[in-house]
A and B are shown apart, each in its own frame.
Chain A
Amino acid sequence: MSTNLSRTSDPQPQADRLRQEMRTIRRELGGDVEEIVEHAERLMDWRYYVERFPWASVGAALLAGYFVVPGRYVTLPTDERTLEKLAERIPLTMQKNAGPAKKGLLAGLISMGTGFLMRAAMGYATQQVQRMMAQHSAPRPMETHHD
């Protein structure tokens, strides 16, 4: 595909040459597209990979089959006697720390008050910042010189 366009004084041979070149490009483009489509179809076909890498494909299939099988589930007995035995084995120090700490009424009130104070402080800070920005952005009065 060469686009060798040279300026000539006569427009008719130039137009003919252009038409010829466009015809050639169209013909080659069709062939190129067909080739690309064929190549893409071949790449999408799994048989192509088996033909190209036969032992690697077989190994990959073997590994896929191996990993498809799930591992063995371990089921623990949940009857009362077994659970009691397990609970006896757990040391006391762990039992003391186990479980979330219960919140009392006072702790709830304190956390609520803290949240309220934080919100109030944030609102106050926002107001102050807005006021400062408004002062900075306000147009300054024109200074006049009286002699």
Chain B
Amino acid sequence: MIDRLAEYARPSPASGWGAALGMANSADMQHQAKELAGRATRWIMAHPELALGSAVVTGVVLGWFIKRR
């Protein structure tokens, strides 16, 4: 997929962006995104402690970088 995008972007970056948007809107891509979201949801439900712990850590890191730096 990346190789195909690189080929589309070779003539001009705009054509590359157009190809990327077209791919993102394709039914196959949407199906893949839905599948990924489903897998992530199942992983959260299977490992709640890990999911919430990593979310808290991510929030702390984000807060640290936004508020303290």
B48 touches A65 (CB 8 A): no
Instruction: Provide the residues of chain B in CB contact with A69, threshold 8 Å.
Output: 60, 63-64, 67-68
Which of B6-14, B15-23, B24-32, B51-59 binds A?
B51-59
| Residue B44 is within 8 A (CB to CB) of chain A in the complex | yes
Instruction: Provide the residues of chain B in CB contact with A47, threshold 8 Å.
Output: 48
Q: Which residues from chain A sit less than 8 Å from chain B, CB to CB? A: 46-47, 50-51, 54-55, 57-59, 61-72
| Residue B33 is within 8 A (CB to CB) of chain A in the complex | no
Contact residues of A: prevailing secondary structure: helix
A46 vs B63: C-alpha distance in the bound complex, in angstroms? 24
Q: Which residues from chain B sit less than 8 Å from chain A, CB to CB? A: 41, 44-45, 48, 51-53, 55-64, 66-68
The distance from the CB of A66 to the nearest CB of chain B, in whole angstroms, is 4
Instruction: Provide the residues of chain B in CB contact with A50, threshold 8 Å.
Output: 44-45, 48, 51-52
Using A50-B51, A72-B67 as known contacts, say yes or no to A65 and B44 having CB atoms under 8 A apart: no
A57 vs B56: C-alpha distance in the bound complex, in angstroms? 11
B45 touches A65 (CB 8 A): no
CB nearest neighbor in A for B55 = A61
The distance from the CB of B2 to the nearest CB of chain A, in whole angstroms, is 28
Using A50-B51, A50-B52, A72-B68 as known contacts, say yes or no to A58 and B44 having CB atoms under 8 A apart: yes
A66 vs B63: C-alpha distance in the bound complex, in angstroms? 5
B62 touches A66 (CB 8 A): yes
Out of B44, B48, B63, name the residue touching A55 (CB < 8 Å). B44
A47 vs B41: C-alpha distance in the bound complex, in angstroms? 14
